[in-house]
Structure 1
Amino acid sequence: MRVYLPVTLAELQHVSPVVLTPRVGHAVTPALRELWPDEDDEGWEYAAQSAAADGSLLLLAADPTAPALRVVVAADVPDASVRLLDDAPVASAVEVSCEVGTSRMASVHVDEPAAAGDVAAAAGGDEAAIERLDERDLLWYDVTEIGEIPTR
């Protein structure tokens, strides 16, 4: 199953080999499909990725030392490692119970460095910055490019 995992650049760039611990991620769930019944697969995937970007923002709020860019890892994990949450905070939220190494990662999605000011402000609770981030798309990186993702 394709999942979108909220992470920070520190998690990706300061440990080798990269292995993400189990966490709440996002996926195309029945609840997400029900919420937006007129969407297609691409729209649902985008919604799950966007929810993961919001999750990354929460991680940044908890760790102000991490580079201020939202980061989402798209990964393919066994269905048995994904559990729907009973009281999910958002329709796409799932619990991913397995570790995710680079062999399971499909891609990495990161804000462009020019967004760092808005990301830092949004992590601090600035509603206007959050709205500006909603208008930004994350940049796509291949897993082999993790070490080359610019932080500023």
Structure 2
Amino acid sequence: MRIYLPASLDQLEPASGPLTPRRAHAVTPALRAMFPDEDDEGLEYAAQLAAADDSLALLADAPEAPQLRCVVSVDVADAAVAVVSGDDDVPSAVELTRAVPQSDVICAHVDEPGAAADVTLAAAGDEAAGERLDERDLLWYDASELPDVPR
């Protein structure tokens, strides 16, 4: 199963070790039901955007981390994921139940450095900054490029 894991860039440093269990996003049956006319690519994009929103919460708790949204794409065994079914959760929400080695990362989607000010403001609750971020696309980086992501 492909999951979209909210992260911060400092969590992708080799010395940080494996990515720890946490809430993630995936193309779930609930997401498919919410967007029945959407193709797989559109559903994956919706799950990625939900993970980008969750990365803001991580950044709010880690002001020392580079203030850029980061979403890591990882393929994991179905048994490593539990579906989340709370009323407050978005339909793509899942729970990663096992640590993921950094070597399993396929790619990451990261804000360009110019978004840092809005990321910081949005992480602190500024709705206007959040709306500006909604208009920005995350940049794609292959796993081999992660050490070179601009911070």
The count of residues paired between Structure 1 and Structure 2 equals 150
Identity of aligned residues (%): 59
> Hey, what's the Cα distance between the residues in 1 that align with 2:99 and 2:120?
28
Alignment of 1:28-43 (within 5 A): 28-43=27-42
Alignment-mate amino acid for residue 30 of structure 1 = P
SS at match of 2:150: coil
Q: Which runs of 4+ in 1 moved over 4 A?
A: none
> Hey, what's the Cα distance between the residues in 1 that align with 2:22 and 2:127?
26
SS at match of 2:11: helix
TM-score scaled by length of structure 1: 0.94
Query: Is 1:113 equivalent to 2:113 in the alignment?
Result: yes
Q: Report if the CA contact (8 A) 1:4-1:27 is conserved.
A: yes
TM-score scaled by length of structure 2: 0.95
Aligned to 1:45: 44
Query: Is 1:22 equivalent to 2:21 in the alignment?
Result: yes
Query: Is 1:3 equivalent to 2:3 in the alignment?
Result: yes
Aligned to 1:138: 138
Q: How much does 1:17 deviate?
A: 6.5
Alignment-mate amino acid for residue 70 of structure 1 = R
Alignment-mate amino acid for residue 134 of structure 1 = D
RMSD, aligned α-carbons: 1.2
Aligned to 2:72: 73
Q: How much does 1:86 deviate?
A: 2.5
Return 5+ residue gaps in structure 2 as ranges.
none
Alignment-mate amino acid for residue 73 of structure 1 = V
